[in-house]
């Protein structure tokens, strides 16, 4: 069983980057040399599975293209599909992207991916960040960034509610969260906005159910295995019931509680930034939208409590990990395209311009120790605080099958709309996992 990254160790390596002198980075120039020799322009495509960084990524690609004589990078849109669906369609039509962002699908697609073990960035990757992407000794993906999710809060709103500086450690139980929601509502602000997307509910919120089962990695992964074998009675699982109690609070105090599925992702950062909602269940990848809405706003993370015992595992931690990797196709791309793709990946994490985009435009927490630029925004600082305190949770949703989050997300969507009760959620989750491949 693969060992997952130790975020505390990764943090130490990341923080070392603050004084590191790296960043110039050696890039594979094989593609450039071959292009110069042939005189032809090599075109490569990139499938970006994170719509939150779509705009700055387009700008980065434009800058990269303007600096290249014989390479042109184009972006493939998701076109309304999720990453795995889009990749499957493109492969089936013999139009596979040269570079793709990939997460839980990596194991399924490992046979289609190029071995990147010899790349310069491999030696700069923080300890543990390559474990998930390594199969049979081959590194098949470059870590995109360290990401986290939980309750994002607007500090100005919660400071006002608290009558001073809000202390996030004051919320460590379900009852604490309820009391906070009540205070926020009494102040005339909607306590929370819930984005009902299947990946947010089925991957991220569902992750909490699995990862909070135990501080011991083997125990929580055994829970996942027991779900697959049908040996879990969720109705009598303490974490499940506490998790559902928290979801009930989110449902009750949701800004869109009268029409929960009508809430749009793009509305949420505006609602949070404008102070219409005090909190939002989401991840730090949303910071670019928050910054655009309110450049001077300050934000932080609250954990998602699942019990009324403040010392229970998960009540003081946020989910943080490497969520996506950049991989290169080896089935439908030419050697020249593969070489150009390697150069592009190296440029993103080794050049000063690429690092600037990563940190200042993507709002990414680097998964490498050679970055000269580190994030200074409030949300990133909140994430680094939890990492420094070793208060982080594993992203077990990376081990969900590709149809896992759409299926579980659909179940939670039904729950938010009142079309299914708690027993129904337990039944549908159990039935899904017994059939999961």
Residue 1 confidence (pLDDT): 35
pLDDT of residue 117: 98
Q: Do domains 42-146+323-381 and 148-320+394-435 have the same CATH topology?
A: yes
Distance, in Å, from the CA atom of 299 to the CA atom of 297, rounded to the nearest integer, reads 7
3-state secondary structure of 156: helix
What pLDDT is stored for residue 5 in this prediction?
35
d(CA 201, CA 199): 6
Q: Are strands 138-139 and 134-135 parallel, antiparallel or unpaired?
A: antiparallel
pLDDT of residue 134: 95
Neighbours of 357 (CB within 10 A): 21
pLDDT value of position 29: 44
Domain ranges of the chain: 42-146+323-381, 148-320+394-435
Q: DSSP secondary-structure letter at 115? A: -
Q: How far is CA 195 from the centre of its chain?
A: 15
Residue spans of beta strands (DSSP E) within 245-366: 277-283, 299-302, 318-322, 325-328
Instruction: Give me the pLDDT at residue 17, please.
Output: 34
In this predicted structure, what is the pLDDT of residue 40?
87
Beta strand pairing call for 99-102 and 277-283? unpaired
The token duo for 157 is 């709103």
| CA dist., res. 370 & res. 348, Å (int) | 12
Whole-model pTM: value is 0.76
Helix (H) or strand (E) holding 159: helix 155-162
Instruction: Say how far apart CA 342 and CA 345 lie, in whole Å.
Output: 5
CA distance 347 to 99: 14
Q: Categorise residue 28: left if φ over 0, alpha if ψ from -120 to 50, beta otherwise.
A: beta
Helix segments in 136-191, DSSP class H: 155-162, 174-186
- Confirm if 254 and 406 have CB atoms less than 8 A apart: no
- Which residue in the block uniquely carries the two structure tokens 């600037």? 356
pLDDT at 39: 67
The pairing of strands 190-193 and 277-283 is parallel
Across the strands, what pairs with 281?
151
Structure tokens at 80: 């309304």
Residue 393 region by backbone torsions, left for phi larger than 0, else alpha for psi between -120 and 50, else beta: beta
pLDDT in the model for residue 334: 97
Q: Compute the distance between CA of residue 299 and CA of residue 186 in angstroms, rounded to an integer.
A: 21
For residues 49 and 80, give the distance between their C-alpha atoms in angstroms, rounded to a whole number.
Answer: 11
Cβ neighbourhood burial of 91 (10 Å; 0-12, 13-18, 19+): middle
**Domain 42-146+323-381, CATH number (from 1.10.150.120, 3.40.190.10, 2.60.40.10, 1.10.10.10):** 3.40.190.10
| Contact between 288 and 52 (Cβ < 8 Å) | yes
Integer Cα distance of 146 and 358 in angstroms: 12
Task: Find all residues with CB under 8 Å of 51, minimum gap 6, and list them.
Answer: 78
Predicted local confidence at residue 23, as pLDDT: 33
Tens place of pLDDT per residue across the chain (437 aa) = 333 333 333 333 333 333 333 333 334 444 444 444 456 899 999 999 887 788 899 999 999 999 999 999 999 988 777 778 889 999 999 999 999 999 888 988 999 999 999 999 999 998 888 988 999 999 999 999 989 999 999 999 999 999 999 999 999 999 999 999 999 999 999 999 999 999 999 999 999 999 999 999 999 999 999 999 999 999 999 999 999 999 999 999 999 999 999 999 999 999 999 999 999 999 998 998 999 999 999 999 999 999 999 999 999 999 998 989 999 999 999 999 999 999 999 999 999 999 999 998 888 889 998 999 888 899 999 998 998 888 999 999 989 998 999 999 999 999 999 999 999 999 999 999 999 97
Contact 396, 203 (CB under 8 A): no
Supply the CATH classification number for the domain 148-320+394-435: 3.40.190.10
Comparing CA positions, the residue from 368, 399, 431 lying closest to residue 11 is 368
- Cβ partners under 8 Å of residue 295, min gap 6: none
Cα–Cα distance, 113 to 118 (Å, whole number): 14
Alpha carbon distance 387, 343 (integer Å): 31
């Amino acid at each position: 069983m693969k060992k997952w990254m130790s975020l505390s160790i990764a943090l130490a390596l990341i923080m070392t980057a603050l004084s590191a002198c790296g960043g110039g980075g050696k890039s594979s120039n094989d593609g450039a040399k071959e292009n110069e020799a042939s005189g032809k322009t090599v075109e490569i495509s990139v499938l970006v599975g994170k719509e939150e960084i779509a705009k700055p990524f387009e700008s980065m690609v434009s800058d990269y293209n303007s600096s290249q004589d014989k390479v042109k990078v184009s972006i493939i849109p998701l076109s309304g599909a999720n990453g795995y669906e889009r990749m499957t369609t493109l492969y089936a039509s013999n139009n596979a992207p040269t570079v793709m962002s990939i997460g839980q699908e990596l194991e399924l697609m490992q046979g289609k991916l190029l071995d990147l073990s010899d790349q310069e960035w491999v030696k700069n990757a923080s300890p543990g960040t390559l474990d998930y992407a390594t199969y049979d000794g081959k590194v098949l993906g470059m870590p995109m960034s360290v990401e986290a999710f939980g309750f994002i809060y607007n500090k100005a709103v919660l400071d006002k509610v608290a009558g001073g500086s809000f202390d996030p450690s004051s919320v460590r139980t379900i009852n604490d969260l309820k009391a906070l929601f009540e205070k926020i509502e009494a102040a005339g602000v909607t306590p929370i906005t819930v984005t009902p997307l299947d990946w947010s509910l089925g991957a991220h919120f569902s992750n909490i159910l699995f990862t909070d089962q135990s501080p011991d990695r083997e125990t929580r992964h055994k829970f996942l295995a027991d779900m697959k074998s049908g040996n879990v009675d969720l109705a009598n699982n303490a974490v499940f019931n506490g998790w559902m109690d928290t979801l009930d609070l989110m449902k009750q105090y949701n800004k869109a509680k009268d029409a929960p599925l009508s809430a749009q992702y793009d509305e949420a950062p505006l609602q949070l930034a404008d102070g219409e909602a005090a909190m939002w269940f989401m991840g730090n990848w949303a910071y670019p939208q928050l910054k655009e809405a309110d450049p001077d706003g300050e934000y932080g993370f609250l954990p998602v409590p699942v019990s009324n015992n403040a010392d229970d595992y998960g009540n003081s931690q946020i989910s943080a990990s490497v969520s996506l990797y950049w991989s290169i196709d080896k089935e439908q791309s030419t050697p020249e395209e593969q070489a150009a793709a390697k150069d592009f990946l190296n440029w993103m994490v080794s050049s000063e311009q690429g690092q600037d985009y990563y940190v200042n435009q993507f709002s990414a927490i680097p998964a490498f120790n050679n970055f000269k630029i580190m994030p200074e925004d409030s949300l990133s600082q909140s994430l680094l605080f939890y990492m420094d305190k070793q208060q982080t949770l594993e992203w077990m949703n990376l081990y969900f099958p590709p149809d896992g989050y759409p299926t579980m997300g659909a179940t939670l969507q039904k729950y938010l709309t009142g079309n299914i009760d708690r027993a129904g959620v337990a039944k549908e989750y159990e039935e899904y996992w017994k059939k999961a491949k």
